[in-house]
Amino acid sequence: QVHVETAVCWLKAFIRSHTSQLGSENLLASIFSLGIIEYRVQHANSVSK
């Protein structure tokens, strides 16, 4: 669980730092994918409690 949360945080930082280098379509795709990952991590955390 901790590794997944760390990876999500790292992905957020990576996307933020490369925002200016990405085209708008790539950026939207990245943010959408990250949103799905975050949702699944939160869901997994609530189920495992």
User: What is the mean predicted confidence (pLDDT) over 7-29?
Assistant: 72
pLDDT tier at 24, thresholds 50, 70, 90: low
Q: In this structure, which long-range contacts are made by residues 3-6, counting pairs with CB atoms below 8 Å and at least 24 apart in sequence? A: 4/41, 4/44, 5/41
pLDDT at 3: 83
Q: What is the mean pLDDT of the chain?
A: 74
> Residue 48: is its pLDDT beyond 80?
no
- Tell me which residue has tokens 């990876």: 7
> Residue 16: is its pLDDT beyond 80?
no
